[in-house]
A and B are shown apart, each in its own frame.
Chain A
Amino acid sequence: MDVIKLEGVEKIYRTKEIETVALENVNLTVEEGEFVSVMGPSGCGKSTLLNLIGLLDNPTKGTVDLLGSSTAGMKDSGMSEFRNRNIGFVFQSFHLIPSLNVADNVALPLIYRAGVSAAECDRRVREVLERLGMSHRMKHFPSQISGGQCQRVAIARAIVGDPRIILADEPTGNLDSRMGAEVMALLHELNRADGRTIVMVTHNEEQASKTDRVIHFLDGRQII
């Protein structure tokens, strides 16, 4: 089954003076359980692609279908709910909320989901943090843990809502090689053990080579 399907996708950023083509005629399918890497030089449209798949932005042209459903015409609140239930995000800069402790950061997707009780939320947060070896840091704040631990927490946050798709934007970009390897191992485990579909933007060829497929972009176009 195609979990992600992009057809004729184009993204153009317009200002009064300038028009920038970020993506041009992108046709892409990702099957369920696939781990796909997206590579290319800076500014080639990798992150834009991830934003479109993650419903954080709308394509100027073309269609984005996720989990067999068209996202065209979806309302903002519908997109929010879709993201909340089906997509987990991992960012290069972790983007943990500094005012919240580890447990509260991880709980965020569940807080925005209707019908999850506080007890259920706590249970799932605890489970996922235990799985990622971070349960002993539950009450710590992001400023009190290392970069590698921050990314573990970010991954915990990405999977706590049990999404089928994980979008990772240079998840090891801010980590040293040892911590980067740990994070990659985690992502592979989530892919293999849970069957989650992962799309990862990376500059690291070695990491990309270990994924199921590598897609290359240049100047907004998919070249391989």
Chain B
Amino acid sequence: MRRYFSQIWYEMRHQPLVMWISVGGTALAIFMVMVLFTVDRVSFVPAPPEDNRDRMMVGFGVDLHFENGSISSLLSDTGVKKLYSKVKGIKYLSFTNAPETKDVGSDGRIVTEMSVRGVDDVYWKMFGIRFQSGHPFTAGDVESGSRVAVIAMSRARELFNDDEVRGRTIYINQLPYRVTGVVEDVSPFFTFAHSDVWVPYRKDTPNEYSEFVGNTTPLMELESKEVIPLVKREVKARYERLNKKLGEEGSSLIYHQEPFTLAEYIGNNGNNNDPDPDSARMGTWYIYAVLLLLPAMNISSMTRSRLRRRVSEIGVRRALGATRRDILGQFLVENLVMTVAGTVAGVLFSLLFCKLYITTFFPMENAGTWQLIKGGPSFSLIFNWETLGMAAFFCLVLNILSTILPAWKASRENPAEAISGKHD
């Protein structure tokens, strides 16, 4: 084994570019797989403040067809009530407005763009958003349309240069809102919990075309993830019942398997279509496959190049008694060592990336401990050894397979011709 390392070290010194590309390609492939996986996982894994991601559903919108046209829109509060209210298995049903970017300022007239989300009182029960001071607004505030707001701590500091801003006034699109509470910042990676400012949910005004059309995004927390099929069945039955009545008026609601799980919602990219998580998953697997195949092809080509330079060495080894199997084994082991080196580098880069990722993108009070992190997923939640192992394993297998053909060809060289360097 020492001789294999010696050979590789020699080539590292004499063909640094080729060797580093070979090792680096493997490392990069594993790293990229882990990056994709980590970024993907961050969107789905239950973590504070969205601890309920695995049992959360979204009533994305409504697809309404008429005799001479159709409307695809967000739901109205009336529509939400008709479709989702009191469905068995739903623990919380929250009425929200999709976040909008608005001008937010303070008495000191600092005006900056911030994300403003309209939410009801139930919303605060669904998500573990932690209050630094104050409290969320109440059902009464929502019902009466009070101008009250909850603001993220960093944004409060930006506006007032102070953490304690409860009771003070902020201006959203120049309208005054009284701050009732200040919360810890929520990472933008939390699709529904994130915002800079939260204000009471704004009820829909009647729409001229349909009572189902509005600006409401209903968020649901189920009693458990096991009831997802039950909820879907119940909502489908409601669609069917509503369509019997709507059919008489010449319209119909198209059922797109709502409400969506988080995976379905993200997989649909904001489109009001039937969710297709299988295609999304296949797409991810294709990307993984390409990422793993690229270094294998790279190693195959590098191996051919290395073998061309070592033809006379192969001839000499054969002259000294090496069998074809010895030659094949020699190059397989050499590439195995390089692949393992690349894999180790890839694992280290992945670990480093994962740590940097959670320390950079998620607010933390105990960064660096790799423990459960307040306001974000823990390292162990987003880093998956199983995936890393699979990526490393497939990289190893593909790299070895890609070495076999050139190494086998090398082992079949005529020793006399190889020594004379005829193939050099």
List chain A positions with a Cβ less than 8 A from chain B: 47-48, 51, 54, 56-57, 76-77, 80-81, 83-85, 89, 91, 95, 97-101, 104, 108-109, 111-113, 157, 161
Assembled-state Cα–Cα distance A98/B6 (Å): 10
Q: Which residue of B lies closest to A95 (CB)?
A: B316
Is the beta-carbon distance between A56 and B415 smaller than 8 angstroms?
Answer: yes
Q: Which residue of A lies closest to B3 (CB)?
A: A104
Contact of B319 among A56, A76, A85, A98 (CB under 8 A): A56
Interface residues of B in 278-331 (CB under 8 A from A): 312-313, 315-326
Task: List, in ascending order, chain A residues with CB within 8 A of B210's CB.
Answer: none
Q: What per-residue 1/0 map shows which CB atoms of B230-247 lie under 8 Å from chain A?
A: 000000000000000000
Evaluate whether A99 and B419 lie within 8 angstroms (CB atoms) in the complex, with A83-B321, A109-B321 already known: no
Assembled-state Cα–Cα distance A161/B319 (Å): 13
Task: List, in ascending order, chain A residues with CB within 8 A of B315's CB.
Answer: 56, 95
Contact of A104 among B6, B313, B319, B321 (CB under 8 A): B6
Contact of B321 among A47, A48, A112 (CB under 8 A): A112
> Is B204 an interface residue when CB atoms closer than 8 A count as contact?
no
Assembled-state Cα–Cα distance A47/B14 (Å): 31
Q: Which residue of A lies closest to B317 (CB)?
A: A108
Is the beta-carbon distance between B313 and A97 smaller than 8 angstroms?
Answer: yes
A100 CB, nearest partner CB in chain B, Å: 6
Enumerate 14 A-B pairs (CB-CB under 8 Å) in ascending A order: A47-B420, A51-B415, A51-B416, A80-B318, A83-B319, A85-B321, A89-B320, A95-B312, A98-B14, A99-B7, A100-B6, A108-B320, A112-B321, A112-B323
Q: Which residue of B lies closest to A80 (CB)?
A: B323
A139 CB, nearest partner CB in chain B, Å: 11
Is the beta-carbon distance between A113 and B321 smaller than 8 angstroms?
Answer: yes
Task: List, in ascending order, chain B residues with CB within 8 A of A108's CB.
Answer: 317, 320
> Is B11 an interface residue when CB atoms closer than 8 A count as contact?
yes
Task: List, in ascending order, chain A residues with CB within 8 A of B366's CB.
Answer: none
Contact of B416 among A57, A109, A111, A157 (CB under 8 A): A57
Is the beta-carbon distance between A54 and B324 smaller than 8 angstroms?
Answer: no
Secondary structure call for the B interface: helix
> Is B393 an interface residue when CB atoms closer than 8 A count as contact?
no
Assembled-state Cα–Cα distance A99/B8 (Å): 8
> Is B85 an interface residue when CB atoms closer than 8 A count as contact?
no
Task: List, in ascending order, chain B residues with CB within 8 A of A98's CB.
Answer: 10, 14
Assembled-state Cα–Cα distance A80/B322 (Å): 6
A107 CB, nearest partner CB in chain B, Å: 9
Q: Interface size on B (CB < 8 Å)?
A: 26
Is the beta-carbon distance between A83 and B320 smaller than 8 angstroms?
Answer: yes
Is the beta-carbon distance between A84 and B321 smaller than 8 angstroms?
Answer: yes
Q: What per-residue 1/0 map shows which CB atoms of B378-420 lie under 8 Å from chain A?
A: 0000000000000000000000000000000000001110011
A111 CB, nearest partner CB in chain B, Å: 8
B281 CB, nearest partner CB in chain A, Å: 46
Is the beta-carbon distance between A54 and B319 smaller than 8 angstroms?
Answer: yes
Contact of B323 among A54, A77, A157, A161 (CB under 8 A): A77
> B319, B414, B420: which has the most chain A beta carbons within 10 Å?
B319
Is the beta-carbon distance between B322 and A112 smaller than 8 angstroms?
Answer: yes
Evaluate whether A57 and B6 lie within 8 angstroms (CB atoms) in the complex, with A95-B316, A157-B320 already known: no
Q: Which residue of B lies closest to A111 (CB)?
A: B3
Is the beta-carbon distance between A91 and B419 smaller than 8 angstroms?
Answer: yes
A sample of 12 more A-B contacts (CB under 8 A), given A56-B416, A95-B315, is: A77-B325, A80-B324, A81-B323, A83-B319, A91-B419, A97-B313, A99-B6, A99-B7, A101-B6, A109-B321, A111-B3, A112-B326
Task: List, in ascending order, chain B residues with CB within 8 A of A84's CB.
Answer: 320-321
Evaluate whether A57 and B321 lie within 8 angstroms (CB atoms) in the complex, with A91-B419, A99-B6 already known: no
Assembled-state Cα–Cα distance A54/B295 (Å): 40
B82 CB, nearest partner CB in chain A, Å: 77
A29 CB, nearest partner CB in chain B, Å: 22
Is the beta-carbon distance between B322 and A77 smaller than 8 angstroms?
Answer: no
Task: List, in ascending order, chain B residues with CB within 8 A of A48's CB.
Answer: 416
Task: List, in ascending order, chain B residues with CB within 8 A of A95's CB.
Answer: 312-313, 315-316, 419
A6 CB, nearest partner CB in chain B, Å: 16
Q: Which residue of A lies closest to B9 (CB)?
A: A99
Q: Which residue of A lies closest to B417 (CB)?
A: A57
A163 CB, nearest partner CB in chain B, Å: 10
B393 CB, nearest partner CB in chain A, Å: 29
Task: List, in ascending order, chain A residues with CB within 8 A of B324's CB.
Answer: 76-77, 80
A38 CB, nearest partner CB in chain B, Å: 16
Is the beta-carbon distance between B318 and A56 smaller than 8 angstroms?
Answer: yes
Task: List, in ascending order, chain A residues with CB within 8 A of B312's CB.
Answer: 95
Evaluate whether A99 and B10 lie within 8 angstroms (CB atoms) in the complex, with A54-B319, A77-B323, A112-B326 already known: yes
Task: List, in ascending order, chain A residues with CB within 8 A of B319's CB.
Answer: 54, 56, 83, 89
Assembled-state Cα–Cα distance A54/B415 (Å): 10
Task: List, in ascending order, chain B residues with CB within 8 A of A76's CB.
Answer: 323-324
Assembled-state Cα–Cα distance A57/B414 (Å): 7
A83 CB, nearest partner CB in chain B, Å: 5
Assembled-state Cα–Cα distance A81/B324 (Å): 11
> B11, B14, B419: which has the most chain A beta carbons within 10 Å?
B419
Is the beta-carbon distance between B3 and A100 smaller than 8 angstroms?
Answer: yes
Assembled-state Cα–Cα distance A48/B317 (Å): 18
A60 CB, nearest partner CB in chain B, Å: 13
Assembled-state Cα–Cα distance A89/B419 (Å): 11
